[in-house]
Every structure is written in structure tokens, then in C-alpha cells.
Amino acid sequence: MRRQRDETPERGDTVLRVEGLRVEFNDAAHTHAVDGLDLTVGRGEIVALVGESGSGKSVTARSVMGLLPSEARITAGSIVLEGQEVVGLSPRRMNRMRGSQVAMLFQQPKAMLDPTATVRDQVAEPLWLHRGLTRRQARTRVAALLKDVGIPEPERRAAGYAHQLSGGMAQRVMIAAALSGEPGLLIADEPTTALDVTVQAQILRLLRHKQREAGLSVLLITHDLGIVASIADRVAVMYAGRIVEDGTTTDIFARPQHPYTQALMRASLLHSDHGSLYSIPGSAAQSRALDHGCRFRPRCSVAEGLGIAKSCEDSEPTLHACGAGHRSRCWAPVREEASA
């Protein structure tokens, strides 16, 4: 049964639970790309992870997949996937989790497909690896999977190569490959950014159909709030490596609490009176350098006016409840109406 929009997942109904995750890069600054992140995805729900470029969304996704680059490492926290702790899991066991429990879609589907292998072989790989199908069984299953994701003439397409596909068709092939191992969770990192608007809408409809039909859970990474509003059940807003607000999509859009969420919403609206796009003044780099207080304070436009600047400077707010299933990491009093 599909989750009601105003529910948050209970422990037993959770596909992914990330707690206190820290990921450090081995660069001169020892950048903490992800810095104390808490995130939950319930069974059968679509959770959107949003935030500016560089906030740590892709590093979060790669941590869950066990696909961090060699110069990055998890220094703290826990990632529980289908009840299994994956931090510290051996590469062999993590490989088994990928495809069978969790799969990922990327922004550039054509770049992710192997140009030397047929579409059939790429979609069939998880079927051999995780489901033990014979070649003949896999061939039949691949045709069914391609048909299922809306690819016309699936047998002919299956014999073709990635360069023969359009961007939209390539992303459909990636979805077929991702779903072939019947994972409970799909992580989609900006899966439609490289596609034109019509194809984007088709791919999002396909994901929503899979969520409803198969009870698939989706962690959807996007910077596009229009996409969030159209498809997500819940939203987690990420800033400088941490979640600063999360809640149902309805609540986040109707009553955004954190000044960063409010600024993101303003930035996503074209100001018709000026014809210009609002951008959030300052950069997250200023925030990452702070070692105390609220990390958003160099860019916050409300702290002074509310007379709470001293608290904001002295100590960092926790991610605390500001409504049912709604949390914000901010000292400002709860606002009932949107100010964005």
C-alpha cells in the first residue's frame, strides 16, 4: 500500500537509515563533504535530497552505494540498508548488495553504459550476478524489462549499443538495468538533468509508476524544486554536508522553516517583475570553514532581524521538530506560513 503523504517512516518500515554520516576527502583541507548527515527513506516512498551544487548530495549517494572514490573515506556514522549495516562491509558483500538491494541512476546515462557491450549484456548483468538466471532466461527477461520501461522494439534495441540510443532511451535502459535485480531502493542522482523537458517528464512518470507498481523506494537527488513538488513524498534539504530541514513535500513547500530552504525556493522562482533569477548571496565554502555556531549564518538574512544573531554564532542548532514529521536546524521561532 502506498504511504500516506503525512506519515514518516517507522523503524521497521525503513529501507535506508543513515545516522551521523561523515565522509572526509584526503585533500589538503581534509574536506568533510558529508558532515553528520541523518537521512531516512521509508519503504515505497520517494524522498528528494535537494541542495546547491557542492552540498554533498552525490557523496552521500556514493557512500550508500559503497562507491566512494579512493581519496574519500567514511570517518563516522552508520548506513543501514534493508536492516544491514553497510559501513565497513567487505567489497565482495557490498558488491552483492548493489543490484540486489540498492541500485543507482546517474546524470549522464550514455556515459555510464559500456560502449563495447550490447544493451542486452548490460541489462542482463545483474540477472546473472544476483538472480542466477541462464543466458536464455536472461535474454527473455531483458526483452520484458526493456518493454516494461517503454522501449519500443525491445529485441532489436537489446542487440544494439549505447551510441545508438538517445539520452532518454539510454536512461530507460539504465532504469531497466537498475531494476533487473529487483532492488528495494533506487538512488537517482540528477537522473533527468541532461534530458529535454518532455523526456524528463516521461522518465519521472516512469519512476513514479515503478514506485507505485513495485513498492520501490527512491532517493531522488535533484536541484530542481519543480521536480520535487511533482514527485516526492518527503524532502530533505542539504547544506554544507548536513540536513538542515526535512519533512513532507506538502509541509516543506507550504511552511519552509529554515532560511536556506526559503532562499532555495526564492532562487527557483523566476522573478517576473525583474525578469532575473534570484541567487543566494555568498557561498557554502564560507560555511564549511566555520567550526562553531550555525553554518548558514554567513548567508542568513533573518538572524539579525529576529535578534538571535548571538545564539546563531555561539552554538549550532540541532535538527529539531518544528511540526509533525517536520524538522529544522535553526534557532528561529517556528513560522506558520511560508515567507518564501
**How near is the Cβ of 71 to ligand ADP at its closest, in Å?**
6
C-alpha span between 99 and 186 (Å, rounded):
9
Report residue 45 as a C-alpha cell. Answer: 516512498
Q: Which of residues 252-281 bind ligand SF4 (CB under 6 A)?
A: 258-259
Q: Which stretch binds ligand ADP (CB under 6 A): 39-47, 48-56, 139-147, 314-322?
A: 48-56
Site for ligand ADP in 60-79 (CB under 6 A): 69, 71
Is 287 a binder of ligand ADP (CB under 6 A)?
Answer: no
Q: Which is nearer to ligand ADP, 27 or 314 (CB)?
A: 27
Q: Of the ranges 85-93, 117-125, 282-290, 300-308, which one interacts with ligand SF4 (CB under 6 A)?
A: 300-308
Residues 41-80 that bind Mg ion (CB under 5 A): 57-58
Among 119, 143, 294, 322, binds ligand SF4 (CB under 6 A): 294
Residue 239 within binding range of ligand SF4, rule CB under 6 A: no
Q: Name residue, grid cell 544494439.
A: 160
Q: Is 242 in the site for ligand ADP (CB under 6 A)?
A: no
Encoded amino acid at 310, one letter = K
Which of 15, 175, 302, 322 is in the footprint of ligand SF4 by CB under 6 A?
A: 302
Task: Pick between residue 51 and residue 109 the one whose CB is nearest to ligand ADP.
Answer: 51
For ligand ADP, which is the closer residue by CB, 26 or 315? Answer: 26
Q: Which of 303, 319, 322, 327 binds ligand SF4 (CB under 6 A)?
A: 303
Task: Report, in Å, the least distance between residue 300 CB and ligand SF4.
Answer: 3
Residue 57 CB, nearest approach to Mg ion (Å)? 5
Min dist. Cβ of residue 41 to ligand ADP (A):
17
Nearer to ligand SF4, 253 or 296 (CB): 296
**Contact assessment for residue 36 and residue 5, using Cβ atoms and an 8 Å cutoff:** no
Binding residues for ligand ADP, per CB under 6 A?
A: 25, 27, 31, 33, 51, 53-59, 69, 71
Binding residues for ligand SF4, per CB under 6 A?
A: 258-259, 294, 296-297, 300, 302-303, 308, 312, 317, 330-332
